[in-house]
Structure 1
Amino acid sequence: MVTLNPYLNFQGNTEAAFNFYKSVFGGEFVFIQRFNETPAGAGMSPKEANGLMHVSLPIGGNMLMGTDAVESMGQKVMPGNNIHLCLSPDSKAEADRLFKALSAGGTPVMPMADQAWGAYFGMATDKFGISWMINQDTNK
């Protein structure tokens, strides 16, 4: 079964935003990782490398997730790319099917591929301008 969760992009203030959301909704972060804890952080400025690559906060039966957009990687947050809908399918085959279907008539942004964090991941913008992430946890 596919789960659907919102994924928020911030321009360097993800940690402050998620600490705010934590104060509003309660709970604890189930995952938090900085860029400097990954190979991606090696070529970044100290400020960018200290930013959040990923954070997850459970809210009810869903997960609110987020990241800092990194300008040195050509990322700039603006209306339209500040939120993605993140799908978590059970299999790579389902991930591929979703990616292909959502990309049809739209724009594949990042092709499906195995990632360093242990997931099969890709991104697409559908023909209506909605941004999607497909993240299949390969450890399942």
Structure 2
Amino acid sequence: MKLIPYLMFREGKCREAFAFYAQVLRGNVVSSATYGEMGPDIPEPMRPLIANVHLVVGGASIMGADAMENPDGQATTSVNIEVDNIEEAERVFAMMSDGGLVRMPMAETAWSPRFGMCDDRYGQPWMVNCVTPAP
């Protein structure tokens, strides 16, 4: 299991920010997906924006995305819990979200066979991301 900081950007700044971080930190963007890749139900203004990006610097990672509209004040930084199988992703998500708020239920995404977002019972935001390819 890995814990990875996850940065949420306003005003579509994620792509620009991660290009800057990659240059400054001499890292590599190893994956990137837009909201448009998630399916046809995404509103047109969001489609070109970044839904998920992963930057590796040495043995460390940071991830990020452009924030969707945020009327409920969701934090702009989360911790991404990266696990290597679907069962562990579902277990961790169930426990982290118990007594908290599910912001995005566990589901398959353009970058993961299982991904979900929640606030724990203490109000802290978490993401659970399975990195094993879907069967």
Normalised TM-score (structure 1): 0.80
- What is the TM-score of this pair, normalised by structure 2? 0.83
Q: Displacement of 1:41 after TM fit? A: 7.2
Q: Distance in 2 between matches of 1:77 and 1:29?
A: 30
Alignment equivalent of 2:83, drawn from 67, 80, 89: 89
Q: After TM superposition, list the pairs within 5 Å mapping 1:1-140 onto structure 2.
A: 2-11=1-10, 12-40=12-40, 43-45=43-45, 48-71=46-69, 75=70, 81-139=75-133
Give 1:42 deviation, angstroms. Answer: 5.5
Deviation at 1:118, TM superposition (A): 3.8
Identity %: 35
RMSD value over aligned CA atoms? 2.3
Equivalent position SS for 2:114: strand
Distance of 1:51 and 1:77 partners within structure 2: 20
Distance change in 2, residues 1:33/1:91 (3 Å): closer
Distance 2:114 2:89 in 1: 8
1:70 and 1:76 in contact (8 A); partners too: no
Q: Which sections of structure 2, spanning at least 5 residues, go unmatched?
A: none
In the alignment of these two chains, the number of paired residues is 133
After superposition, the C-alpha distances for 1:31-77 in whole angstroms (9 at most, x for unaligned) are 122333442576312xx322212211102322111111133xxx359
Deviations 1:13-40, CA, capped at 9 Å, x for gaps: 1122112212221122111223334425
Q: Deviations over 1:56-103 (max 9, x none)?
A: 1102322111111133xxx3595x521111111122221121112111
Give the helix-richer structure, 1 or 2: 1
Residue segments in structure 1 that go unaligned for 5+ positions in a row: none
Query: Is this contact kept in 1: 2:86–2:113, CA < 8 A?
Result: no
- Inter-CA distance 105–116: structure 2 relative to 1 (3 Å threshold): same
